[in-house]
Amino acid sequence: MNHYDYEAMIFTEEPLQLEAQADLLAHLENCGECRSLATAWFGVQRDLTAAPVQAPAAGFAGRWEQRLERDRQQVHHHQVLGTLGLSLAGALLLILALVFFLTPVFETPKVYLYAFLYQALNMVVAADMMQNLLVGLVRSVTSPVTLVIGLILVGIVSQLGVLWLASIRLATKTRRV
Amino acid sequence: MFKTLEIPLNTHVVSEPATDREAQWLVKALQGDSPAFTHLVEAYQRPVYNLCYRMLGNAEDAEDAAQETFLRAYKSLRRFDQSRPFATWLLSIAAHYCIDQLRRKDLAVTSIDDMLVPEVPDHAPDMDTRLGRKQEQQRVRAVLDVLEPIDRAAVVMYYWYDYSYDEICQELGLSMSAVKSRLHRARKAMALRWNQTEAAHGTSS
């Protein structure tokens, strides 16, 4: 056997056979290097065994809670910044799109202005026609109704309104079980 | 032969298996209840801190790493496989974080002179005992500091937490032969460093 084999025997975690133990002991008596290594390894094991379990300073859990809070704030801060960044990017894109689509308007404003005025005029004419239509319709409906019939109708409609409100209230009221 | 000289190493680092109360805290924490997770922090702060301390070698970095471990665990709690022990999962997060830190900061290169001041208060009654413990601490730091991050994690898991080779393989993502080889290499490196430290102390005294 060579030094490497004896080293393996010194550092092994497996129990050695009696023969191997005797062989190793004989080697250690003659080999100062391996003897020194074995002594050192015993020393290491002794120190590791004696080394106490280290505990953190008091208040570790409290400090952890503070750290968690800091971390949450940091995450929130990043989220806010991210949202802000996205919003800004979106706004910028929107502005660019607007600029792109409105460029022709700025280049030939007269044409667009006339078109706008024409459309506005058309809308006014259409509104006037609609108004005339509605007025004619109301007049044709209300002309046969006399004052008395009108008052009766208003009274009926008022009563129906009261009934409607009462039934809505009953339907939405919480019931006792 | 050497088995007869071996003393059982720290078997009390990780507390008892999760109790019903801890399981309840875990369920509540999974539902987003952070005070419940704080109970878990209180329960496991010691083993996590100890692992970080042994890996990083000083109290300040260990505190930071332990805090970060719990924060990462809290954030990725939904990915926790409940068939595994919670302590093992936490220690795995801590070990990987410490390995990353060591690689990033190159904390492994620390001179023995940097370790002369103890950072953890010692309440031993007499001066000799305190001095003896201080020297032991320095030697432990010296022998651990000589190891590569992954080797150090394997040593800490094996000697402080009684992890089996299988568990170390699982937690560090290594093959069985790699773990055995790394532990063997680490033992030799630690023994050589121990000799150097002893020689240095002998010369200085």
Quickly list DSSP for B170-194.
HHHT--HHHHHHHHHHHHHHHHHHH
Q: Write down the mean pLDDT value for chain B.
A: 81
Q: What is the pLDDT of residues B26-45, one digit of tens each?
A: 888 888 888 899 999 999 99
Q: Write down the mean pLDDT value for chain A.
A: 89
- Between these two residues, A47 and B49, which has the higher pLDDT value? B49
The interface residues of chain A toward chain B in range 66-125, judged by CB-CB distance below 8 A, are 67-68, 71
Mean of pLDDT values over B64-74: 95
Residue B112, number of CB atoms within 10 A of its CB = 17
pLDDT class for B182, splitting at 50, 70, 90?
Answer: very high
**pLDDT of B23 over the 70 cut:** yes
Mean of pLDDT values over B1-12: 36
Mutate to test the interface with B, among A45, A65, A67, A78 (most CBs of B within 10 A): A45
Which residues have a Cβ under 8 Å from the Cβ of B2 and sit 6 or more positions away? A10, A12, A16, A38, A41, A42
Of A8, A55, A67, the CB nearest to B49: A55
What DSSP string runs through A68-94? Answer: HHHHHHHHHHHHHHHHHHHHHHHHHHH
Q: What is the pLDDT of residues A150-175, one digit of tens each?
A: 899 899 999 999 999 999 988 887 65
Which residues have a Cβ under 8 Å from the Cβ of B163 and sit 6 or more positions away? B157, B171
Give pLDDT, residue A30.
87
Amino acid identity at B133? R
Mean of pLDDT values over A87-116: 88
* A8: chain B residues, CB-CB within 8 Å: 184
A7 touches B at CB < 8 Å: yes
**pLDDT of B167 over the 70 cut:** yes
Main-chain phi, psi angles of B112, to 5 degrees: -65, -30
Give pLDDT, residue A175.
59
* B49: chain A residues, CB-CB within 8 Å: 54-56, 60
Q: What is the pLDDT of residues B102-129, one digit of tens each?
A: 998 765 444 444 444 445 555 555 777 7
- Between these two residues, B73 and A102, which has the higher pLDDT value? B73
**pLDDT of B65 over the 90 cut:** yes
Question: Which residue in chain A has the smallest CA separation from B4?
Answer: A15
Mean of pLDDT values over B167-179: 92
- Tell me the nearest-neighbour CA distance from B160 into chain A, angstroms: 8
- Between these two residues, B175 and A140, which has the higher pLDDT value? B175
The percent of residues above 70 in pLDDT, for chain A, comes to 97
Q: What's the start-to-end Cα distance of chain B, in Å?
A: 33
**pLDDT of B188 over the 90 cut:** yes
* In B19-172, alpha helices (H): 20-30, 34-56, 59-75, 86-105, 127-145, 149-160, 165-172
* B53: chain A residues, CB-CB within 8 Å: 54
* Exposure string over A53-63, b if 16+ CB within 10 A, otherwise e: bbebeeebbeb
∠ Cα B128 B146 B182 (to 5°):
120
pLDDT class for B18, splitting at 50, 70, 90?
Answer: low
* B38: chain A residues, CB-CB within 8 Å: 61, 64-65
Q: Is the pTM of this model over 0.95?
A: no
Whole-angstrom distance, CA of residue A175 vs CA of residue B23? 43
**pLDDT of A143 over the 90 cut:** no
**pLDDT of A73 over the 90 cut:** yes
Give pLDDT, residue B155.
93
Question: Token pair of B101, please?
Answer: 């830190």
Q: How far is CA B46 from CA A59, B18, B24, B75, B77, in A?
A: 12, 15, 20, 20, 20
Whole-angstrom distance, CA of residue B73 vs CA of residue B36? 13
